[in-house]
Structure formats: structure tokens, C-alpha cells
Amino acid sequence: MLSNSAPAQDVVIAGQHSGKPVKITPTAKPVYDQLVKLAHDGNNYWAEITVKAINELAAGRLHQNNIFVKPGAVHRDGTEEFVMILPGCEVICEKLDADGFKVLCFNPDFKYGELIGSEKKPGLYKASKRNKKWQAAYREDGRIDLKEDRLVAIADSGYDSPSEAATIAAPRIGEAPHVGNLRVSTKGFDLHFTPGEKCIGGLRNYRNAIRVNQYTELHESALLLARTMYEAKEVPGVTWVSEDGGSGVLTQAMTILASQGVQLRSHVVFMFNPTTSPNTAVKAAHNLGVLLDRKFITTRAINIVGNRDHLEMNWNRWRSESDSITALQAGADAVAYGKSLQGMVMTGATIAAGVAGVAGVSLTTSAALTTFLAAIGGAVAAGKTVGTVASVGNGLVKNLLPKHHDKLKGKF
């Protein structure tokens, strides 16, 4: 006997009374309900991001130009599918003719929270120094210490653990003009950790580095950081400092928040040796309303990506911050940048001369580098042009082995 029951209807889950209605298919509704339950739990903030993204659809803030949305198929009837790439969940949606949306399918990983806790996914950690060693403790709720002037580091990838990332990041974030190493060591900081075998950006990933908002591998981490920043928006004076490739994650997070109309006017942003476009970061920072010190970034001499658009960045800052940066200061910064370009050439020449004249070895292997450093140590011990040789050695390690350099620096 055939059933006369009507097929299950789509259900409106957001924007029913205002905004663009968001419907969901009957098969996807149970998964959505489970995500809502997890989001209300408080310790599954990845699920909270997915539920919030559905509400953002209703508000009309998500579209295919958004950095964490990718286009999908176009059907014969003109409707269009797209995929929202969210932490722990992909959401396949359909743009309706009636200026609304329909959620077709969720692809969640309900073990995502466990993966964050096991350091296999991006997450937030509290870094503190105990017995002269940095330790990182996972923050299950993804929220920083809600204290005035809290310091937050956004680390590069390529670290074995959050504790190692904290050890390397600590002396670097102390380079921010208003921070200092004493504050870092005594008060600690929060750490946004992005796991991965390779560093972010740089010449090896040049295309992604200069088009940082299209750097898809960072979207997951950036969304989690954006949520952390949003939750801290009422905390005065928070300082967000990226180190190396963490600049890419911070840039995307700021872009996400700015696109949603969020403002962080009492917060401060600084970038240590960004390996993604600092000019893109400045534009996002202006839209977000954060405070930028005149010395917004510091870069190593051989950081091509970090130095490539300094002049354009300075020009954009002068136009957007004319009340705090005068034309004379902007001109002085341009001159200083010109001198830094000379410094890049001199640094390369000095290192080359040091390799040839002091060590007499090629630095193509770690063994050769060890030999060279030993030669420097011997020269210093023998009193041979101590100032020059020590300077060459420190400059070499700082530029060619920056993580090793900063790990040693953090012990002092």
C-alpha cells in the first residue's frame, strides 16, 4: 500500500522574521541540531563558529567573495551552490532565487575538539615560564585571559609543539615597541598555535604570501583566531603580535572581522618579521580600527616578502593615519626604508665575507654551519677582531637560522 504522506519540507532555521531566510533540508536538520547543542556546550567553539556562520548567511554577510567561501556548481535552473570552509565542518549551501539560502549538507568532524586538544589542529594556549622553560596549556574555550593589556602571540607553523612555539615566539613578541621581554617573561601570554610541517609564506610560497587572503591553508586557523579576537573585543588594550608566518593568520582573521563590521579600537597589532604581505595586513587593520605603532613591523634584512611593499604600506598608512602620522614622518620612514635596503645588501656581503674569510666553508649543510660557528667561537676566544667576527656570526645565525637564534636568545 502506497503512503499518501507528503514529503518532508525544508525548515527555516535563521532569518525568519528579518534578513535573508536560511532554510535547511530535512536530512541535514538533525546534524544542525547536534552542532547547535555542541555550540551551547561552551567548550566546542569550532561548532559555535559553524552555527554563527549560518546566522551570518541570514544577515547577508557571507558571499562568494568572502575569503573562507569557495564557489560550487551552477544548476540548470540558475541556482548556485557554494561551500563554506569552517573549522571542523564544511557546509554545502545553495543560493536561492528568492534572495535566501538553503543548507544542503553538513560534513562535520565531531572529533574536531579532540584533534585541537591533541595539537593536530589550530588552537589557543596559555604560555607561561616555569623553571626557565616555556610551557603551553590548552585553552578549551578558545578565550584569552580577560585582563586589560593582555598579550597574545600568533605563531608561525613548523613547530613540533605549542611549547616549542612559545619558546621561539617569546623573545620575538618582546620586540614590539610597547611590550619588552620583561613583560613577556613575568606575565606570560596567550598563544594561537597553527600546526604544520612547513613555515607559512616566504619565498617558497611567494604567490600565497603576497595574496594572503587567498591562502586557503590558513582559513581554518584564521577563523578560530577571528573568534578568539571577537570574544576579546571588550577587553581593553589587548596586543596581538604575530611572528614570522603568523602574520598570514592574523591578516586573514582581521579581514574576517572587518568584513563583519567588528571594531577593536583599543587593541594593538604588531608584526615581527612578517612573511606575508604587510600591506594587506595594514589595510585590514585600518578597517578593523586597531591601533598601530609607527613601527608597526620589524623585518629581517633578507626577508624579501616582508620588505617588498614597504613604500606602498607607508603611503597607505599616511593616507589613513594622517592624524597620527605626519607627511614629514612618512618621508622619514621612506628614507629609513631606503637605508634598510642598503642594509640588506651589506648584510649579504658581510655574511659572504664572513663565510669566506673566517670559516672558509660553504654553508650548504648543517655540518658546515657548525664548523663555521665553531670557527667564530675560536676567533672570539683568541681575541681576533672580536667586534667584527662576533657581529658576522650573530648576523648569520639571525638571518639564516632565526629559530635557533631566538631559542638561544630566549635563554638569556
Give the start-to-end residue ranges of the domains of the chain: 11-110, 115-325, 341-409
Distance CA 210, CA 347 (A): 24
What pLDDT, in 10s, does the model give residues 110-159? 999 899 989 999 999 999 999 889 999 999 899 999 999 999 999 999 99
pTM (two decimals): 0.76
- Identify the CATH class of 11-110: alpha beta
Report the pLDDT value the prediction gives residue 317, as an integer from 0 to 100: 57
Per-residue confidence band for 204, with pLDDT thresholds at 50, 70 and 90: confident
For residues 295 and 177, the answer to whether their CB atoms sit within 8 Å is yes
Radius of gyration from C-alpha coordinates of the chain: 24
What pLDDT, in 10s, does the model give residues 241-254? 999 999 999 999 99
What's the mean pLDDT in 258-278?
Answer: 92
Q: Identity (one letter) of the amino acid at 110? A: F
Q: Which residue has the higher pLDDT, 122 or 305?
A: 122
Q: Which residue has the higher pLDDT, 404 or 328?
A: 404
Torsion sign (Cα): 281, 282, 283, 287: positive
Neighbours of 218 (CB within 10 A): 30
Distance CA 222, CA 254 (A): 9
For residues 26 and 103, the answer to whether their CB atoms sit within 8 Å is no
What pLDDT, in 10s, does the model give residues 316-365? 655 556 555 444 444 444 444 444 444 444 444 444 444 444 344 444 44
With CA atoms as reference, report the closest residue to 283 among 307, 250, 305.
Answer: 250
Domain 115-325 maps to which CATH number in 2.40.160, 1.10.3470, 3.40.50, 3.40.1350?
3.40.50
What's the mean pLDDT in 180-206?
Answer: 92
Helix (DSSP H) and strand (DSSP E) numbers for the chain: 15, 13
DSSP-assigned states of every residue in 223-291: HHHHHHHHHTTTSTT-EEEEETTHHHHHHHHHHHHHHTT---TT-EEEEES-SS-HHHHHHHHHHHT-E
